[in-house]
């Protein structure tokens, strides 16, 4: 058979598998990204978020597609594509970023991300993750030990805290609910107890499992948004009287809106007394376990049956990368029990076949970044990051308290601060900042009132940036 010759056309696949094209495009991209990083860190742009209405942005990208002229051979995208993506994206590396809970990633991790994207080892089974699967098992065992979960503890990595909490509650259902829900369905309506301030992912998981709105038993909270201990027993008895089989209680570490930590030690005791599974939604705040100075709010987390912790929030890892830890490592296999003869040779516990413990079949090589940091630095790098970010929040709280016209919701125990300008339309202040910059912050609603909210994610944020933020908001108010 005659070998297939390479067609001399710009769109043929063979043009994009050449080493020369890869090397050339990589060199160009490194320079562009380095310039973008420098400009962001030096605050050279007028706005952290280049704000324009969503419809206008959609129209812009649609117009590009209508003008999709042929690209020269060897280039996979138009020359100015990356330039426009950078120009229109939220600049998290700008020290004036204090918005949503997404890590300002450690820049050097971009190269590991690029390497794993090129390797693309899917990790469903051992043969598709010969390096990254044992790396994941090794580092998750070590991290679980560091967190104090016990000698049999382990965990998995997955794409996001929402998926981690759903997976944990599936395991809880198998361990605590009557019958075999995975095989036969639920014998009776099940329920999970959770703070009324909990992240929506818990309620979403409950509904996905088919328990409906009633399956989420929302427990009232105290004025500081911490779960009310007296309300726990009341809520349990009320749900049981309504015919619900309560299987688990979820603790916040911490709440997304205000950074409040539930009393995990109290919740652990309550769960043990009532034979309930304790899941800690530590997507944001569990990272403080690496900090000697800031880990106190997590006391009791070591008694949880499962813990979710995002590496892509306070720990500098690019999204998405979440750890789901189990105090009993075998519980991970309870979430899923499914025959797949084309994948598995048997139904035994096999750590090397990760899809036995995760929703995902194919998943990215998440362990490489986590393993690399832990091997090189242990907990020290993460401790320094956590301490710096929490310190930024505490510095902001102090600055707010020094200004008589401002109100602080609560002293921060994490890197989240909620505050408002008395007598002002705080929603309008936030919108003015969106439109005119330069800072980027968000808002929340507490007790029916709009509060401004900063999540300090950038360790490069200085005291002067915080003071400038407050000055700018006061300027808008005038």
**Tokens describing residue 14:** 């063979």
Domain membership of residue 39 (yes or no) is: no
Domain membership of residue 323 (yes or no) is: yes
Helix (H) or strand (E) holding 119: helix 109-119
pTM: 0.93
Domain ends where: 317, 352, 377? 377
Domain membership of residue 81 (yes or no) is: no
The interaxial angle of helices 426-436 and 463-477, nearest 10 deg, is: 110
pLDDT tens digit sequence for 443-452: 999 989 999 9
* pLDDT for position 102: 95
Question: Is-contact 461 40, C-beta < 8 A?
Answer: no
Domain membership of residue 5 (yes or no) is: no
Given a cut of 50, whether residue 339 has pLDDT beyond it is no
What residues make up the domain containing 470? 381-477
Task: Report which of 66, 109, 61 is spatially closest to residue 81, judged by C-alpha positions.
Answer: 61
Counted residue by residue, the chain has a size of 478
Segment 359-380 mean pLDDT: 94
Domain membership of residue 412 (yes or no) is: yes
Same domain flag for 138 and 237: yes
- Judged by average pLDDT, the poorest of 82-86, 124-128, 144-148 is 124-128
pLDDT tens digit sequence for 14-66: 888 999 989 999 999 999 999 999 999 999 999 999 999 999 999 999 999 99
Segment 420-447 mean pLDDT: 96
Given a cut of 70, whether residue 343 has pLDDT beyond it is no
Same domain flag for 152 and 279: yes
DSSP 34-58: HHHHHHHHTT-SS-SS----HHHHH
* pLDDT for position 2: 54
Given a cut of 60, whether residue 293 has pLDDT beyond it is yes
Domain membership of residue 333 (yes or no) is: yes
Same domain flag for 216 and 296: yes
> Which residue would you say has higher pLDDT here, 301 or 125?
301
Same domain flag for 446 and 367: no
Percent of the chain surpassing pLDDT 70: 95
Same domain flag for 235 and 142: yes
Same domain flag for 389 and 368: no
Given a cut of 60, whether residue 302 has pLDDT beyond it is yes
* pLDDT for position 4: 56
Same domain flag for 413 and 426: yes
Task: Say how many domains are in the chain.
Answer: 2
Same domain flag for 408 and 347: no
DSSP 232-258: HHHHHHHHHHTT-EEEEEEEEBS-TTT
Domain membership of residue 247 (yes or no) is: yes
Same domain flag for 294 and 316: yes
The CATH number for 419's domain is 3.90.1150.170
Using omega within 30 degrees of 0 as the cis cutoff, is the peptide bond preceding 438 cis?
Answer: yes
Same domain flag for 245 and 392: no
Kindly list the distances between the CA atom of residue 350 and the CA atoms of 125, 335, 337, 353, 361, in Å, as whole numbers in the listed order: 10, 14, 12, 6, 15
Domain ends where: 377, 402, 436? 377
The CATH number for 264's domain is 3.40.640.10
* pLDDT for position 260: 94
pLDDT tens digit sequence for 347-366: 567 877 877 888 888 889 99
**Tokens describing residue 146:** 């560091």
Same domain flag for 269 and 353: yes
Same domain flag for 195 and 277: yes
């Amino acid at each position: 058979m005659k070998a297939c010759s390479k067609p001399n056309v710009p769109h043929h696949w063979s043009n994009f598998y050449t080493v020369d094209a890869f090397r050339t495009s990589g060199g160009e991209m490194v320079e562009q990204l380095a310039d973008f990083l420098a400009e962001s860190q030096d605050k050279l742009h007028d706005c952290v978020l280049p704000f324009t209405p969503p419809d206008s942005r959609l129209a812009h990208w649609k117009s590009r597609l209508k003008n999709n002229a042929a690209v020269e051979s060897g280039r996979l995208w138009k020359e100015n594509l990356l330039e426009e993506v950078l120009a229109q994206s939220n600049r998290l590396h700008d020290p004036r970023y204090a918005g949503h809970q997404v890590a300002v990633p450690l820049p050097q991790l971009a190269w590991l991300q690029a390497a794993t994207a090129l390797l693309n080892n899917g990790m469903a089974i051992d043969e598709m993750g010969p390096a990254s699967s044992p790396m994941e098992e090794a580092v998750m065992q070590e991290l679980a030990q560091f967190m104090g979960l016990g000698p049999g503890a382990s965990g998995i990595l997955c794409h996001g805290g929402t998926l981690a909490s759903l997976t944990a509650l599936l395991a809880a259902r198998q361990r605590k609910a009557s019958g075999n829900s995975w095989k036969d369905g639920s014998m009776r309506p099940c329920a999970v107890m959770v703070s009324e301030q909990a992240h929506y992912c818990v309620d979403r998981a409950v509904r996905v499992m088919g328990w409906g709105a009633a399956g989420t038993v929302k427990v009232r909270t105290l004025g500081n948004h911490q779960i009310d201990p007296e309300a726990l027993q009341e809520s349990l008895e009320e749900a049981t009287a309504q015919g619900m089989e309560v299987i688990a209680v979820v603790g916040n570490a911490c709440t997304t809106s205000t950074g409040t930590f539930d009393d995990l030690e109290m919740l652990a005791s309550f769960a043990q007394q009532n034979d309930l599974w304790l899941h800690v939604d530590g997507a944001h705040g569990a990272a403080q376990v690496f900090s000697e100075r800031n880990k106190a709010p997590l006391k009791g987390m070591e008694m949880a049956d499962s813990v979710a912790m995002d590496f892509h929030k306070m720990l500098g890892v690019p999204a998405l990368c979440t750890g789901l830890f189990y105090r009993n490592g075998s519980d991970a296999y309870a979430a899923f029990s499914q025959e797949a003869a084309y994948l598995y040779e048997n139904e035994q516990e096999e750590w090397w076949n990760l899809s036995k413990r995760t929703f995902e079949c194919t998943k990215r090589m998440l362990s490489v970044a986590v393993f690399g940091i832990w091997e090189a630095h242990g907990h020290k790098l993460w401790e320094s990051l956590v301490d710096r970010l929490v310190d930024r929040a505490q510095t902001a709280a102090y600055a707010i308290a020094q200004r008589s016209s401002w109100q602080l919701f609560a002293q921060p125990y994490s890197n989240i601060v909620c505050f408002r300008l008395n007598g002002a339309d705080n929603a309008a202040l936030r919108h003015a900042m969106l439109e005119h910059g330069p800072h980027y912050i968000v808002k929340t609603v507490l007790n029916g009132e709009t509060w401004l909210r900063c999540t300090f994610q950038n360790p490069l944020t200085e005291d002067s940036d915080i003071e400038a933020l407050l000055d700018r908001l006061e300027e808008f108010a005038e």
